[in-house]
Structure 1
Amino acid sequence: MTQSLYPAFGVLLVDDEPSFLRSLGIALERSGGINHIHRCHDSREVMEILARENIGLVTLDLTMPHLSGEELLARIVEEYPDVGVIVVSGLNQVESAVSCIKLGAFDYFVKTDEESRLVEGIRRAIRLQELRQENQALRRRVLDDTLERPEAFAHIVTADKGMRAVFQYLESVALTQQPILISGESGVGKELIAKAAHTLSGRRGPLVCVNVAGLDDNVFADTLFGHQRGAFTGAEQPRAGMIEQAAGGTLLLDEIGDLSLASQVKLLRLLQEGEYYPLGSDRPKRLQARVVVATHHDLAEKQRAGTFRKDLYYRLRTHQVHIPPLRQRKQDIALLLDHFLAEAAAELGKGKPSYPPELAVLLGNYAFPGNVRELRAMAYDAMSQHRSRTLSMAAFKRAIDQARGDEAPLHHRQRAVFAPDEPLPTLDEVADLLVEEAMQRAEGNQTMASRWLGISQPALSKRLKKRRDEGA
């Protein structure tokens, strides 16, 4: 398997000492997981490399033959302003550091500094470069209202502008190593979004999905990290964890909001250090997968309540996408209905039926607490009972009535119908408002409107006639 390069842009190490270049490159790969590295020991070749390669960050020695570091720094800042520069000098001089920062260097390190400080400084600069590139890409896509890779979203049926904005954001952050947090109610299609993020990343490895809800700390560690033989009773053979299985690809941790506090500590360390220990092993392994997490919980609320670690929450929300519920993208309902009916018809060996226009109105006025998953279940249930040329609405009505019956007590307890600072309307005024709203939602269909109002169609017709007579 070909190892994925990180970061997406190249890091150019410039120094006239080949031994320093070699040791720094090894440290970056071992400690930082940074392997997209170019090395240059001749300062005269730097500008040519920048013109030829996709370089996003340069580490630059100050004291070199031919062209000095300060000369190169000035040229890079002028000709390649989007390339970040870190100065790594053998001179521990405040004046030199201040001069370089004024010229446009991102940071200044001395070669005698601890190696870990230099590696962490380079990692920090890479993250800032990634964020800058993502912001530029997102701004370009939003202004142009374009998708560069629409095929990555072909499996998601939508015409909603909010979903399109999600797609544009995903394209902007697809190539970074940072985790993505996907939030949204159950059934909105978070796994489909994770699949699109994986496709956009260009990673050759697989997309591995793990539902972490209900896993205790030991099972979570064994599932993700794997174990060595003899790590615990019954561990007769070594087993690779899901992280290793997802190497070179994407690891999706679903229902992350249900993760225990003890497991949250392990996940935080994995994301911070980029390494992990299989159970029973004292040799760390590098994280070679991009981590994507999904949840239907409000993680901000959970961290305020103390059930989700604040440091992990902020680590995960580096890149966050929220999938709107189906009730907020009503134009997708008809598209999804057609898609699921065709899918169910093909699976059941039936022809795709037509359906009455009232069905679209009925579904458009339903809240869909189960979102896209609920609509799919309705379509499959209706198709399994379908016998005639036109699809019956009975299965949809039955499912909606049952769902509304289940949620009615809670709904009536929690919803505020009237504003407390306004006078109450009379019963006649309320009745007229209800009738008007029901007729508007039913697009003039009295049968559907009367059903929502809980009265007979003749009773509704009589009330409408009375209103017309009074208005005449």
Structure 2
Amino acid sequence: MSVHILIIDDEMNWIKTFSDILIDYQVCDAEDIFNATNLSDACEVLRNNAIDILFLDLNLGCESGQDAIQGLRAEFPNSTLVVMSGVTTGSIPLMCMERGAYDYLPKAMSTDELVLSIQKVISRVEHFDRVRFAPNDLSMVNTQLPFSSYVTQDEKLHSVFEYLKVVSMTQHPILITGESGVGKGVLAKAIAEYSRPNGPFVSLNVAGLDEQMFSDTLFGHTKGAYTNASSQRTGMIAKANGGTLFLDEIGDLSLSQQIKLLYFTQSGEYQRIGSDLIETSDAKIVFATNQNLIELIELGKFRKDLFYRLNTHHINIPPLRQRIGDIPLLIKKFVHQAAEDYAINVPHISDGLIELLKSYCYPGNVRELSSIVYNAVLKSDGQVLTFSDFEFPEIRDIESCSLNAEPETNDTSFKRLDDLFDEKIIDALRVSDGNQSKAASLLGVSQSTISRRLKKLQI
């Protein structure tokens, strides 16, 4: 494959040095290397040429490469962006990767290390090209196994599925982040079904495990390793050999636990408690957390080296309030599942009712929606679902749950049920074009109740 590279740097001496390295080590030919000394020229090159990899310096005279990362990724998503800089301290490397850079390479690294790092980036580009030009239509991957288990019509998640079809086949770990309840475990299981379909799927929530329990559960122990160790125990790593190991809530690990995890993820080697024997595992490792690891690093609660290791392939699942189009699909899925589990008829649910249910922000995400729907189906007894069948454990101000905001947690964010019911009456009337009988049917109340509440509201 011929790789086209763009070097963005305001120092021509560095551009010349870097270009010579690329040519001497046969990374690419001279005619495949482009350069620019400022962002304006760089964008012109990117618009007129199919650039596979762009190497961006952070200091471009009066311009900031760090501030340009998000804009370049948004305008040229098919180009892999790698930051190269003389700055290697502080939180700058983390911030660059958080903004969308694929990697952060210090200019001071040795030539051999530099070439090796570049070859890894090229390997990623080649993987994506094979996917891009494969005969299968990957834009429809969400409707095909294995990712069909994750119900969504969100375009960003469709892109995530394409990405996962590539990186799932590598030995690199995968990090899944997102709020509680968004379906990180579901996605981890889908990754396992795709990459290791015949291997075991071993899941472990590490939150709350103390030092002893963490090591014992993950690595296992030998007979007599400590008091009451009357027999040998096989750890989760050994059980996942040949398959996938899913470690959830890794943001809760202590620093000493993180050291043990770092060694294993780097080498694939581990030792049972009480044993000097070094064992190996080829398990695919998938990590998940609902915490912001960047913030934990800044607080000194998460190791940078472990983050760099896990962040090789990072997937972030947006909350349900940012993908409202998925709510109707999920409601229908859960209604059918609940009816099957309860052995009752599938209750009827109108489009108008679904529109009303879309107005709630679901701070508990998909997990909360599933619970609410299951409870409503049970109350309906297989007949017709109405709004009164749905109970919302956390009644929040809808405005505080806008598409781009986090739900508020202070007392002022809660609404009285009485006020919420009035809002739903207005919503139901809007959906039913002002027909009070239809609105009453949607809400599961009488038409007189609607009329009485409207008089109270002076409508």
What secondary structure does 1:268 align onto?
A: helix
Specify the code of the residue in structure 1 equivalent to 2:124.
Answer: L
Q: Deviations over 1:323-380 (max 9, x none)?
A: 1111111121111111111111111111101124432122100000111111111121
Of the three residues 370, 373, 380, the one matched with 2:364 is 370
**Equivalent of 2:395 in 389, 404, 409:** 404
Residue 312 of structure 1 aligns to a residue whose secondary structure is helix
Distance 1:129 1:148, change over 3 A: farther
Deviations for 1:242-274, whole angstroms, at most 9, x for unmatched residues?
111101111100111111111011001111222
Give, in angstroms, the shift of residue 461 of structure 1: 7.1
The 2-side partners of 1:310 and 1:441 are apart by: 54
- Which structure 1 residue ranges, 5 or more long, are not aligned? 1-79, 83-98, 107-116, 416-433, 466-472
* CA distance 1:320–1:101, shift in 2 (3 Å): closer
SS at match of 1:221: helix
Give yes or no for contact 1:378–1:395 (8 Å, CA) kept in 2: no
Residues 151 and 329 of structure 2 are in contact (CA less than 8 Å); yes or no, is this contact kept in structure 1?
A: yes
Equivalent position SS for 2:361: coil
**Which residue of the other structure, out of 136, 153, 173, is the alignment partner of 2:129?**
136
Counterpart residue number, 2:139 = 146
Matches within 5 A, 1:97-246: 102=23, 104-105=25-26, 127-128=120-121, 130-137=123-130, 146-147=139-140, 150-202=144-196, 204-246=198-240
Tell me the distance in 1 between the aligned counterparts of 2:300 and 2:433. Answer: 50
Select between 177-186 and 228-237 the one with higher mean Cα deviation. Answer: 228-237
TM-fit CA distance, 1:152: 0.8
Conserved 8 A contact 1:182-1:190: yes
Amino acid at match of 2:234: A
Shift of 1:392: 3.1
Evaluate the alpha carbon distance shift between residue 462 and residue 219 of structure 1 in structure 2; reply closer, same or farther with a 3 A threshold: closer
Shift of 1:463: 7.5
Taking the aligned partners of 1:222 and 1:253, their CA distance within structure 2 comes to 15
1:279 pairs, out of 251, 273, 278, with 273
Using the TM superposition, give the Cα deviation of residue 443 of structure 1 relative to its aligned residue in structure 2, in angstroms.
3.5
Separation (CA, whole Å) in 1 of partners of 2:115 and 2:429 = 58
* Residue among 319, 323, 329 paired with 2:317: 323
Structure 1 residue 411 displacement after superposition: 4.7
2:258 aligned residue:
264
Name the CA shift for 1:329/1:132 in 2 (closer, same or farther; >3 Å): same
> Identity of paired residues, percent?
39
CA contact (8 A) 1:264 1:309 kept: yes
Alignment: residue pair count:
335
Partner Cα distance (2:430, 2:308) in 1: 45
The residue identity in structure 1 corresponding to 2:360 is Y
Q: Which amino acid aligns with 1:355?
A: I
- Does structure 1 conserve the Cα–Cα contact (< 8 Å) formed by 2:321 and 2:365? yes
Identify which of 241, 263, 278 aligns with 1:247.
241
Change (3 A) 1:120 1:214: farther
C-alpha distance 334-284 of structure 1, shift in aligned 2 (>3 A): same
Q: Which structure has the greater CA radius of gyration?
A: 1
Aligned twin of 1:393: 387
Q: Could you tell me whether the CA contact under 8 Å between 1:228 and 1:280 is conserved in 2? A: yes
* Structure 2 residue matching 1:360: 3-state secondary structure: helix
Unaligned runs of at least 5 residues, structure 2: 4-19, 28-109, 401-406, 414-421, 444-448
Q: 2-side partners of 1:441 and 1:221: how far apart?
A: 58
* RMSD of aligned residue pairs (Cα, Å): 3.9
Separation in structure 2 between the aligned mates of residue 271 and residue 324 of structure 1, nearest angstrom = 26
Q: Report the equivalent of 2:63.
A: none
> 2:346 is matched with which residue?
352
CA contact (8 A) 2:196 2:242 kept: no
| Contact 1:365/1:441, CA 8 A, preserved across alignment | no
